[in-house]
Amino acid sequence: MNWLTMKSDRDEWLDRAFLALADPVRRGIVARLSRGPATVNELAEPFDITKQAVSKHIQVLENAGLITRSRDGQRRPAHLDPAGLEELTGWIDKYRLDAERRYRTLDALLETIKEN
């Protein structure tokens, strides 16, 4: 088994989360849930797809750890899962900060060269 096939649980979770966000409908659902909880009917309104399709998209997001569902009588609203989103942004920020450090180092080097 090589390093490419040896995935950690975190790597598998990241794969699921990014694959879930690769779909524009699911990104739209996440965007809508950023304003507050919503039911399947409410989430289906802006899309030209069936409520069953929206339910499947919700399941994908739920399996990716990006949203949760609760029960309020007959209602089953979906909510963003802040922990899942925080994990994603933390992963992205790590690489963004590394790139910014490299650019600052390059900027300092170029400034030194320019001054000489």
Rg (CA), the chain: 20
pTM: 0.76
The pLDDT of residue 25 is 97
The pLDDT of residue 78 is 96
Q: Measured between alpha carbons, how far is residue 5 from residues 2, 8, 9, 12, 14 in Å?
A: 6, 10, 12, 11, 15
The pLDDT of residue 2 is 45
Ramachandran category for residue 78: left, alpha or beta (phi over 0 → left; psi -120 to 50 → alpha): beta
The pLDDT of residue 7 is 65
The pLDDT of residue 6 is 56
* AA identity, residue 38: A
Tens of pLDDT along the chain (116 residues)?
A: 444 455 688 888 999 999 999 999 999 999 999 999 999 999 999 999 999 999 999 999 999 999 999 988 888 999 999 999 998 999 889 888 888 888 888 888 888 888 87
The pLDDT of residue 99 is 82
Q: Tell me the two tokens of residue 84.
A: 């899942």
The domains of the chain, with CATH numbers, are 9-115 (1.10.10.10)
